Amino acid sequence: MPANKKYLTPTFLHRFIRITAGLIGGYAVTVSFFLALSFWLDKVSVLFTLVFGGFLVWVGLMIVAFIAKSGWKIWAIYVFLTLCFSTIIYLNQHSAGI
């Protein structure tokens, strides 16, 4: 029994956008989140948690990218979140005088 056409991604570009959003965008959000978190908590324990918990967060963000209707919206959300976390990292580095 063939798959229903309305559930299939229509073009290669849509698939490519979702795959890259899940892999690259999800990774960027995960790493920037844990690095921003390391300024408020113990750096060693947060980075140790990144090794194990980061994988789970990354996989969760990857699944969200494939569930979403539009890959462009997911990319926009992931870039916005990464920029927010990166701004926190930048401001904390300059306020601490590092």
pLDDT for the residue 97: 63
The whole-number pLDDT of residue 86 equals 95
**24 within a domain of the structure (yes/no):** yes
For 75, list phi and psi in degrees, rounded to 5. Answer: -60, -45
Range of the domain at 73: 12-90
- Write out pLDDT tens, residues 13-27: 888 999 999 999 999
Count of domains in the chain?
1
Task: State residue 83's pLDDT score.
Answer: 97
Query: Is 79 within the bounds of a domain?
Result: yes
Q: How far apart are CA 88 and CA 36, in angstroms?
A: 6
Q: Is the pTM of this model over 0.85?
A: no
Determine contact, residues 74/66, Cβ cutoff 8 Å: no
> What confidence score (pLDDT) does residue 8 get?
67
Assigned domain for 36 exists: yes
**Which regions in the chain score pLDDT beneath 70?**
1, 7-9, 96-98
What is the rounded average pLDDT for all residues in the chain? 88
